[in-house]
Amino acid sequence: MLAPGATYRRLLGGPLPVGWRAVVQRPALIALVIGAFVTLTNSGQLLPTLLIGSSLAWAWVPALQLLIASGLITLGSRGRLPLSSALDLFFRGHGPWSLWLLVAGAVLMTRLPEPAGGRVLPLLLSGLIAVAWTSWLVFAFCRTVLALPIWRALLGTLVYQALVWGAAYLYVGAMTFRLRPFSKFAGFLG
Amino acid sequence: MISARAVALALFASGLGLGTLADRAPPTPPGRDAQGRLQLQADFHVHSFFGDGAIAPWNLGREARRRGLHALAVTNHNQVFAGRLVRWLNRRWGGPLVLVGQEVTNPGHHIIAAGIERAVDWDAPAATIIADIHAQGGVAIAAHPERPFWPSFDPPALATLDGAERHHPLVLKRPDGQAQLDAFFERARAHRRRPLAAIGSSDFHTAAMMGRCRTLVSVTEPSEAAVLQAIRDGHTTSRCIPPGSGDLPAPAREPAIALGGVLGWLGLLGLILLPGRRRPAR
Residue A134 vs residues A54, A159, B84, B133, B172: alpha-carbon distances, Å: 24, 13, 38, 46, 36
Output the pLDDT for position A183: 64
Interface check A98 vs B, CB under 8 A: yes
Interface check B103 vs A, CB under 8 A: no
Taking the C-alpha atoms of residue B72 and residue B100, their distance in angstroms, rounded to an integer, is: 9
Using CB atoms within 10 A of its CB, is residue B131 exposed (0-12), middle (13-18) or buried (19+)? middle
Output the pLDDT for position B282: 45
Residue of B nearest to A115 (CA): B208
Interface check A173 vs B, CB under 8 A: no
Whether cis (ω within 30° of 0) applies to the bond prior to A113 is yes
- Mean per-residue pLDDT, B50-72: 93
Give the CA radius of gyration of chain B.
21
Taking the C-alpha atoms of residue B71 and residue B91, their distance in angstroms, rounded to an integer, is: 12
Scanning B187-246 for CB atoms below 8 A from A yields 206-210, 212, 243
Name the residue type at position A135: S
Q: Is the pLDDT of residue A173 over 60?
A: yes
Residue of B nearest to A101 (CA): B269
Residue contacts between A and B (CB atoms, under 8 Å): 198
State pLDDT tens for residues B4-49.
Answer: 889 999 999 999 999 898 888 888 899 999 999 999 999 999 999 9
State pLDDT tens for residues A31-40.
Answer: 999 999 999 9
State pLDDT tens for residues B82-122.
Answer: 999 999 999 999 899 999 999 999 888 999 999 999 999 99
Window from A176-180, B90-94, B181-185 with minimum mean pLDDT: A176-180
Q: Cα distance from B51 to chain A (closest Cα, Å)?
A: 4
State pLDDT tens for residues A78-120.
Answer: 767 889 999 999 999 888 999 999 999 888 888 776 766 667 7
Residue of B nearest to A188 (CA): B79
Average pLDDT, whole number, for chain A? 86
Q: Is the pLDDT of residue B249 over 90?
A: no
